[in-house]
Amino acid sequence: MTAEQPLVLGIETSCDETGVGIVRGETLLVDAVASSVDDHARFGGVVPEVASRAHLEEMVPTIERACREAGVTLGDLDAISVTAGPGLAGSLMVGVASAKALALSLGVPLYGVNHLASHVAVDIVEHGPLPEPTMALLVSGGHSSLLLVPDVTSDIRSLGSTIDDAAGEAFDKVARVLGLPFPGGPYIDRAAREGQVVIDFPRGLTTGRDMERHRFDFSFSGLKTAVSRWVQAREAAGEPVPVNDVAASFQEAVVDVLTRKAVLACREQGAQHLQIGGGVAANSRLRAMAQSRCDDAGIELRVPRPGLCTDNGAMVAALGAQMVLKGRDASRLDLPADSSMPVTQISA
C-alpha cells in the first residue's frame, strides 16, 4: 500500500444510484454512476425492490467502467470502501456483498462507512482537507441534518435533524402536488426561477417554544401540507394554480430555514466553515442564500459541485481513503448492512 497516496475504490448503493468511485489519496480519479431513477419515475418514488435489482445488474459493469476510465486495475487497489448504512436494506446488501467479495479476493482491507459521513468527506476531493471543526448541513431525500465535524473519520456530532419529512422528500411531494415529474428537486428549482416569492408559507420550528426545544432540528411536514391545502383551495375555487410562484415560495421557505439554522449553529459552535452536502445541495437557491448569509456572518462556505452532492461512489472512496490515511481500523468481513446506522457511527 502507498501510505501517502492510497488507491481506494468506493461503492455506494444506499438508494437508487449504483456509484463506484476511485480516489488516490485526496485526488478523485473517477466517479462512475449508474442511476435507476427512470425506473422509479413512473411510481413517483423509489421502489426498494426495483432499486436492489438495478444494483445487481449494474454493479459489475460500473466497477469495470470506473477502473477503465481511471486507468487502473483491481490489482492496483489498496483498499475497498462501501456504504454500510443508512439506506434501503436490500440496496445496501448488494453493495456490501460486492465489496466483501472484492476485498476478500484482492486481499485488501475493507472499510464499511457511513453514508452521511461520506457526504461530508467528498468535499475533500473538491476543495482540499476539511477544516477541523467543520459544520455540515446535509440535505437529501432521506436526511436533513446539522453536524459538527471535528474529524470526519472519528468524531461527528449530531446537533439536529428532521423530526418528520426530510427536505428532499418535501420537494418530491410538493412537485407531485404541482404536477411536476419525479424527482421533484430539479423541477421545482427550474420552475422557481420563472416565479416570484409571493406566498408566505410557514417556516417550521423557527419561533417561540418550538425554537427553544428544537433549536437545530427541522420540520417540513407542515410546510408540505400548507402547500397542498393552498393548491387545493385554488382548484376548488376554479382558479388557476400559479405553479412557478408556488414553487418559488415553497423553495424559499425550505431554503430560509436550512440556511438560517446552519449559520446559527456555526455561530454558537464557533465553526468558521460550513459545508453543504446531499442531493438538495444542488439547488441553486440554497447555494445562493447560503453564500449570502455566510458572507454576512464571516463564515467560509464549501459546497461540492452538483454531481458530487447527489449519491455517488466518489464520496465513499474519499472517506475510505481518509480512513486509510489516518490509520483507522478496517472493518471485519462479516460487517452487516445497517439501514438505520446512526451518523455518529462513522464506520462499521
pLDDT of 252 > 60? The answer is yes
Q: How many whole angstroms separate alpha carbon 21 and alpha carbon 34?
A: 12
pLDDT of 115 > 60? The answer is yes
- Mean pLDDT (the chain, rounded): 96
Residue ranges of domains in the chain:
7-122+312-325, 134-305
For 80-128, the three-class secondary structure string (H helix, E strand, C coil) is: EEEEEECCCHHHHHHHHHHHHHHHHHHCCCEEEEEHHHHHHHCCHHHHC
According to the annotation, is 137 in a ligand binding site? no
pLDDT > 90: what percent of the chain?
Answer: 94
Options 3.30.420.40, 3.20.20.60, 3.90.79.10, 1.20.1090.10; which CATH number does 7-122+312-325 get? 3.30.420.40
According to the annotation, is 217 in a ligand binding site? no
- Interval 125-170: pLDDT, tens: 999 999 999 999 999 988 899 999 999 999 999 999 999 999 999 9
Q: Please tell me the least confidently modeled range out of 43-47, 202-206, 215-219, 324-328.
A: 43-47
What pLDDT score was predicted for residue 43?
81
According to the annotation, is 142 in a ligand binding site? yes
- Contacts for 271 with CB less than 8 Å, ≥ 6 apart: 133, 134, 135, 148, 265, 299
Torsion angles phi and psi, residue 71, rounded to 5? 70, 35
Q: One fold for both 7-122+312-325 and 134-305?
A: yes
Given CATH 3.30.420.40, say whether it is the number of domain 134-305.
Answer: yes
Total Cβ atoms within 10 A of residue 272: 14
What pLDDT score was predicted for residue 67?
98
CB 81 within 8 A of CB 313: no
What pLDDT score was predicted for residue 1?
54
What pLDDT score was predicted for residue 302?
98
pLDDT of 216 > 70? The answer is yes
According to the annotation, is 138 in a ligand binding site? yes
Grid cell 476543495 is found at 127
Burial (CB < 10 A; 0-12, 13-18, 19+), residue 72, is middle
The band of 41, judged by pLDDT with boundaries at 50, 70 and 90, is confident
Pairing relationship of beta strands 273-277 and 300-302 according to DSSP bridges: parallel
What pLDDT score was predicted for residue 294?
98
pLDDT of 2 > 70? The answer is no
According to the annotation, is 172 in a ligand binding site? yes
Report the run of H or E that residue 214 belongs to, with start and end.
none
According to the annotation, is 118 in a ligand binding site? no
pLDDT of 3 > 90? The answer is no
- Interval 174-208: pLDDT, tens: 999 999 999 999 999 999 999 999 999 999 999 99
- Interval 266-298: pLDDT, tens: 999 999 999 999 999 999 999 999 999 999 999
According to the annotation, is 140 in a ligand binding site? yes
According to the annotation, is 283 in a ligand binding site? yes
Torsion angles phi and psi, residue 70, rounded to 5? -85, -15
Q: Where are the alpha helices (DSSP H) in the chain?
A: 37-41, 48-70, 89-106, 115-121, 124-127, 167-177, 184-192, 208-213, 221-236, 243-269, 284-297, 306-309, 313-325
According to the annotation, is 119 in a ligand binding site? yes
According to the annotation, is 21 in a ligand binding site? no
- Interval 70-114: pLDDT, tens: 999 999 999 999 999 999 999 999 999 999 999 999 999 999 999
CB 277 within 8 A of CB 137: yes
